[in-house]
Structure 1
Amino acid sequence: MRPAALALLPLLAACAQAPPPVDTSWVGRSEAELVAGLGVPNRVYEAEGRRVLAYDGPAVASGPVVTPSIGLGVGRWSGGWGSGVGFGTGLGLGFGSGAATAAPCPTNYELRDGRVIGVTRQGAGCG
């Protein structure tokens, strides 16, 4: 691999999208305010005096994708002094945009006495 191509890899890695930070602005607000702002939760859990409202967040989009590839080429030419056939192989990197294939990041709002006391997010890479 060429040194110039190796130098690009850290730059591409820096472009990878991180999940959005957990929104803690709801802490201290009432359940009614939370539901009015975020809508009806996907799931509700209750245990030991606590209530958890779970919202399925959007999928986390993966960042730019670098894919190693192997190529094979065949060519034929002819010209003023003759003709020929050529064969070639090569290694390369394909660059493209990643799709939002990661699982969604469910966000759980924990309530006690009708007020949000904590926010957590689940899932690999959800932060």
Structure 2
Amino acid sequence: MRMRCALLLPILLLAACAQPPATATFNPIGMTEGELVSRLGVPSRAYETDGRRFLTWDSEGSAGPAVTPSIGLGVGRFSGGWGSGTAIGTGLGLSFGGGGPSGYCTATYEMRDGRVIGATRQGPGCG
């Protein structure tokens, strides 16, 4: 029983670190251009036509931090004062790190009279 608890402890600690999904979504409609730039930073591109202004942000998406299961195999030889031996071992573990990029995301906001009136997002990293 004690061994099972020791094995479950790391899993429970990892679960405690998990972040819940975001419940609030970003809704820029009605924001001023200044508020949008303050929130997202300087746009990658801007384009004006027919009294409308389009601001575009390009970014690389990321899968975020990842915990990946791994399997290992080891072989060793040892010797000492009382004898020598050879060992083969296997193990299971977890590796921690970034999940790597999941693709680009292009977000374009349409402005009219200084306020956002529309938004589009394109690309696999927009999720």
Tell me the TM-score range normalised by the shorter chain.
Answer: 0.5 to 0.7
User: What does 1:8-27 align with in structure 2 at a 5 Å threshold?
Assistant: 8-14=13-19, 22=26, 24=28, 27=31
For residue 10 of structure 2, what is the amino acid of its counterpart?
A
Which residue of structure 1 aligns with residue 56 of structure 2?
55
**C-alpha distance in 1, partners of 2:20/2:111?**
36
Q: Deviations over 1:81-102 (max 9, x none)?
A: 2111111111111112333x12
C-alpha root-mean-square deviation of aligned residues, in Å?
A: 3.9
- Separation in 1 of the partners of 2:70 and 2:92? 6
Aligned residue pairs, count: 114
The answer on whether the counterparts of 1:22 and 1:120 sit within 8 Å (CA) in structure 2 is no
TM-score (norm 1): 0.61
Mapped contact 1:56–1:104 kept (Cα < 8 A)? no
Q: Give aligned-pair identity as a percent.
A: 46
Unaligned runs of 5+ in 1: 30-36
How is 1:7-86 mapped onto 2 (pairs within 5 angstroms)?
7-14=12-19, 22=26, 24=28, 27=31, 38=43, 40-41=45-46, 53=54, 55-86=56-87
CA contact (8 A) 1:22 1:119 kept: no
Residues 52 and 58 (structure 1 numbering): CA distance in 2 closer, same or farther, change over 3 Å? same
TM-score, with length taken from structure 2:
0.61
Contact 2:29 2:116 in 1 (8 A): no
Q: Which runs of 5+ in 2 are unaligned?
A: 34-41
Q: Report the CA distance between 1:65 and its aligned residue.
A: 1.7
Structure with the higher strand share, 1 or 2: 2
SS of 1:24 mapped into structure 2: coil
Q: Which has the higher contact order (CA 8 A, sep 6+)?
A: 1
Measured at CA, do residues 10 and 80 of structure 1 come closer, stay the same or move farther in structure 2, by a change above 3 Å? same
The 1-side partners of 2:51 and 2:14 are apart by 46
Do the aligned partners of 1:12 and 1:64 also contact (CA within 8 Å) in 2? no
CA contact (8 A) 2:67 2:95 kept: yes
